[in-house]
Amino acid sequence: MSAHGSVGAEVAAVGAHGEQRPHPSVGQYVRVAIILGVVTAGEVGLYYLQAIPDGMLIALLVFFSAIKFSLVALWFMHLRFDSRLLRRLFVTGIILAGSVYAIVLATFLLR
C-alpha cells in the first residue's frame, strides 16, 4: 500500500514527500524583517501625527499590525508553505477569539 493509502481524502495540498513548496531563502527572511521594521516605524510615526482623527488612526494602526502579524505567521512561521490544516487551525483560533471578545466588549458599549 503506497503512502497515499494512509492519507485521507481531506489532506491538504502538501504531500508528505518532497512536494512542499520551496522554503524561503535567507535573503527572503531578511527582506521580510526589513518590511517589519519599516512598518513599525510607520506605525510610530502615525502615532505622533497630530493631524489624524482618532478613528482613522485606529484603523490604520490595526491595519499595519495585521500586516506584521500576517508576515510573521506566513513567512517566519512557514504557514504559507505548510499544510492548509495548520493554517486553518491557527486562523480558527484567531477568528474565534476576535469574534467572541469583540462581542463581549460590544455588550459593554451597547447597554
Partner 1 sequence: MTTEALPVPRRRFLRRPIAPTGVWSWITTVDHKRIGLLYGFTAFAFFIIGGLEALAIRTQLARPENALLTGDAYNQAFTMHGITMIFLVVMPLSAAFFNYLLPLQIGARDVAFPRLNALSYWLFLFGGIYLYSSFFLGGAPDGGWFGYEPLGRQLAGHGMDYYATGLIILGLASTISAINLLVTILNMRAPGMTLMRMPVFTWMALVVQFLLVFALPVITVALFQVFFDRTFNTNFYNIANGGDPLLWQHLFWLFGHPEVYILVLPAMGIVSEVLPVFARKPLFGYPVVVFSGIAIGFMGWGVWAHHMFAAGLGPVANSAFALSTMFIAVPTGVKIFNWIATLWKGAIRFTTPLLFAVGFVGLFIIGGLSGVTHAIVPADTQQTDTYYIVAHFHYVLFAGAIFGLFSGIYYWWPKFTGKLLNERLGKTHFWLMFTGANLTFGPMHILGLQGMPRRIYTYARGLGFDFWNLVATIGAFTIALSILVFIVNVMRTRRRGEASGQDPWDARTLEWTTPNPTPEYNFAEIPQVHALDEFWHRKYVEDEHGKVVPVPAGGSNGHDDPAAGHGAGHGGHGIHMPSPSYYPVMTAVGPPLIFWGFLYSPLLIVLGAFILLSGVYGWAVEPASE
Partner 2 sequence: METGIGAHEVVAAEHPPTSTGMSNTKVAMWTFLASECLLFGALISTYLLYRGRVVSGPKPGDVYDIPFTSVSSFVLLMSSLTMVLAVHAIAEGDQAKCRTWLVATALLGMTFISGQVYEFTTFVHEGLALTTNVFSTAFFVLTGFHGAHVTVGIIMLLSLFGLSLDGKIPQSRAETVEMVGLYWHFVDVVWIVIFTLVYLIPSPGGSA
Nearer to partner 1, 48 or 108 (CB): 108
And the C-alpha cell for 55?
Answer: 478613528
Query: Residue 102, interface with partner 1 (CB under 8 A)?
Result: no
- Could you tell me if 48 and 41 are in contact, meaning their C-beta atoms sit under 8 angstroms apart? no
Of residues 6, 26, 49, 50, which one binds partner 1 by CB under 8 A? Answer: 6
What is d(CA 23, CA 6) in angstroms, rounded to the nearest whole number? 25
Q: How far is the CB of 32 from partner 1 (least distance, A)?
A: 29
**Selection from 33, 34, 63, 60 nearest residue 48 by Cα:** 60
Grid cell 490604520 is found at 60
What is d(CA 48, CA 65) in angstroms, rounded to the nearest whole number? 16
- Residue 38 binds which of partner 1, partner 2, none (CB < 5-8 A, kind-dependent): none
Q: How far is the CB of 82 from partner 1 (least distance, A)?
A: 14
Tell me which stretch binds partner 1 (CB under 8 A): 36-44, 51-59, 64-72, 94-102: 94-102
Q: How far is the CB of 71 from partner 1 (least distance, A)?
A: 25
Neighbouring C-beta atoms of residue 82, cutoff 10 Å: 17
Query: Residue 56, interface with partner 2 (CB under 8 A)?
Result: no
